[in-house]
Amino acid sequence: MPYSLLKKKNPYFRNLSLTAQERFVERMYVFMGDKYFIGREGLVITDEIRVLISASAIQLTFGLKEYTIPHLHTINVFPRVFYSKMFETSFKGLTTRTGVLSISWDDFQEGYATDNDKVNLGLHELAHALNIDLIEGSYDEHFTLYFEKWKLVAKSEFLKLKEGSLHFLRKYGSRNFHEFFAVCIEHFFEAPDDFKLTLPHLYGHTALMLNQDPGNIDNDYQIKSITEYFYQDTVMQETDGVALISEFSSEQYRDLTLKQKLRNYISKNGLSVAMSTTFVGLFLGIPLLIWFSSVTIIDIGTLLLMIFACGTAGLMQWRFVRNLVDMEYHHFAMYSFSGFAMCLLNFLLFLNLSFPVSARTETYDLDSFRHTISKGSIEVEMDDPALTRNLNTFLTENFIEVEDARQMTVKYNTGLLGFDSIKECTFH
């Protein structure tokens, strides 16, 4: 089914060789399995919808190693133009930094119905998704390394479009640079020959950036010799563009920082990590916290203050992850206090209990505080409620004969965070 459907409705696929078509379909299935397709306003998601939208993404990324646009996770498909309550306006397509793409199915189909009108909603919105993928750190290395160099050429053409002196590209691209990028992508695939003739430098750099040439129909859109795109291009010389059509060495990846990789991990796994942490914090963290408070001399006020501090530290993560995880703020606040705070606080109390830094011994006269002796065991009531709680827990767990005792000697360990715990208690 996909081969006949794609040959009928996707001109890009139709012009590929049989070997390239097999590679295209293989990638398409991977992309399709990686995304959630949701029908909106009564639209039922069919295999045709999933195949054609996925094929549009593979068309865009066919020259790249990373072709799934990892930051994108959900595709909402509306039957027609839809209204956004957030932006209070109607859209044919909308792509957000949270990894959600929304698109009108009628307009998507219209984009492929005429393959040379320079308007293709699917490519336009997926170009936004690819751009966001770069911004959010879920990158393809080739695209990442070349995009900044592409902007050197694109910037001057963008200014011409804004001024009205450039008429080849659709005027909609003058709204901002993100729209300019998406409009360039539409023209690049819909009218490659005209694009190359009118704006040869921008076309050449776009071909290098995406590592494909839609005008090279006879050879599966492969990049040609670099001299066919550039003759006396000073920008190309300055950016060492020749190296960009060859394989990249590991040293050329040094700009892809650990921060980018972390952002990539968060965008893929952040939601599941937050949910798992909240579950652990609620169902394991709270019982552990109760136990730690019974063996650590810490008053309730200090404990609540530490929970608040740890929860606030959790909330501070929001500024770094709000565009990477599909969560509302109140859900994130629940994770911060119920999950992150509980896990962090238990870890701190574990460190305090496990790593004593000093020890001391205190001797108390039993007559100096209230106590009750019954059947050889004792229950005490000290001035410090936290000490009282810990002593009684220790005495209950460690039965000590106290029938004729007059004094109580307690050995304390002071932990890494400065909180005491009872090591030994004797009566004499």
- The tokens describing 154, both together, are 């694109």
Task: Check residue 41 and give its pLDDT.
Answer: 92
How does strand 74-78 pair with strand 100-104? parallel
The tokens for 205 are 């750099």
Contact 30, 76 (CB under 8 A): no
Cβ atoms of 358 and 414 closer than 8 Å: yes
What average pLDDT is seen over the chain? 85
Higher confidence at residue 32 or residue 371? 32
Q: Quick one: pLDDT band at residue 235, thresholds 50, 70, 90?
A: very low
Q: Please tell me the distance from the alpha carbon of residue 402 to that of residue 68, in angstroms, as a whole number.
A: 72
pLDDT of 18? 92
pLDDT grade for 107, boundaries at 50, 70 and 90: very high
pLDDT at position 100, please?
A: 92
What's phi and psi for 164, nearest 5 deg? 90, 10
- In tens, the pLDDT along 183-193 reads 999 999 999 99
Reduced to 3 states, what is the DSSP secondary structure of residue 214? coil
Highest mean pLDDT among 259-268, 365-374, 411-420: 411-420
Question: Regarding beta strands 74-78 and 36-39, do their DSSP bridges make them parallel or antiparallel, or are they unpaired?
Answer: parallel
Token pair, residue 287, equals 């019982």
CA 231 to chain centre: 41
Coil, strand or helix at 345: helix
For residues 304 and 193, what is the distance between their CA atoms, to the nearest angstrom? 68
- What stretch of H or E contains 38? strand 36-39
Least confident of 116-120, 201-205, 309-313: 116-120
Contacts of 165 (CB under 8 A, 6+ apart): none
How does residue 178 score in pLDDT terms, banded at 50, 70 and 90?
very high
Q: Give me the pLDDT at residue 2, please.
A: 83
pLDDT at 242 over 50: no
Nearest to 245 by CA among 64, 8, 3, 2: 64
Per-residue pLDDT, 240: 42
Confidence class for position 297, pLDDT limits 50, 70, 90: very high
Within 10 A of 82 (CB to CB), how many other CB atoms are there? 18
| Helix (H/G/I), strand (E/B), else coil: 411 | strand
Q: Phi and psi (nearest 5°) for 90? A: -100, 150
- On whether the CB atoms of residues 195 and 185 are closer than 8 A, the answer is no
Tokens of 389: 């709680």
Average the pLDDT over each of 165-179, 302-316, 390-404 and give the range with the smallest value.
390-404
Dump pLDDT digits (tens) for 213-228.
999 998 999 987 666 6
Q: Give the percent of the chain with pLDDT over 90.
A: 49
| Identity of the residue numbered 197 | L
Question: Helices (H), strands (E): how many in the chain?
Answer: 18, 11
**What's the pLDDT score for residue 206?**
92
Mean pLDDT of 162-190: 92
Rounded CA-CA distance 107/100 in Å is 18
- The 10 Å Cβ neighbour count of residue 40 is 15
Cα–Cα dist 328/332, whole Å:
6
| CB of 324 closer than 8 Å to CB of 263 | yes
pLDDT digits (tens, 9 = 90+) for 245-263: 343 334 434 444 455 566 6
Residues in the chain: 428
Range in 19-23, 170-174, 202-206, 326-330 the model is least confident about? 326-330
Two tokens, residue 92: 């044919």
Percent of the chain surpassing pLDDT 70: 88
Question: Which pLDDT value is given to residue 324?
Answer: 65
Reduced to 3 states (helix: H, G, I; strand: E, B; else coil), residue 31 is: helix
Per residue in 357-369, is it b (16+ CB within 10 Å) or e — as a string? eeeeeeeeebeee
pLDDT tens-digit series, residues 36-57:
999 999 999 999 999 999 999 9
Other residues' Cβ atoms within 10 Å of the Cβ of residue 231: 10
* Mean of pLDDT values over 367-396: 84
3-state secondary structure 357-375: CEEEEEEEEHHHCEEEEEC
User: In the prediction, which pLDDT does 236 show?
Assistant: 45
**pLDDT band, residue 323 (cuts 50/70/90):** low
3-state secondary structure 143-208: HHHHHHHHHHHHHHHHHHHHHCCCCCCCHHHHCCHHHHHHHHHHHHHHCHHHHHHHCHHHHHHHHH
What are 271's two structure tokens?
A: 């939601």
**Tens digits of residue pLDDT in 76-85:** 999 999 988 8
As a whole number of angstroms, the distance between CA 134 and CA 253 comes to 14
Q: Which residues contact 1 (CB under 8 A, 6 or more apart)?
A: 47, 51
Q: Is the pTM of this model over 0.85?
A: no
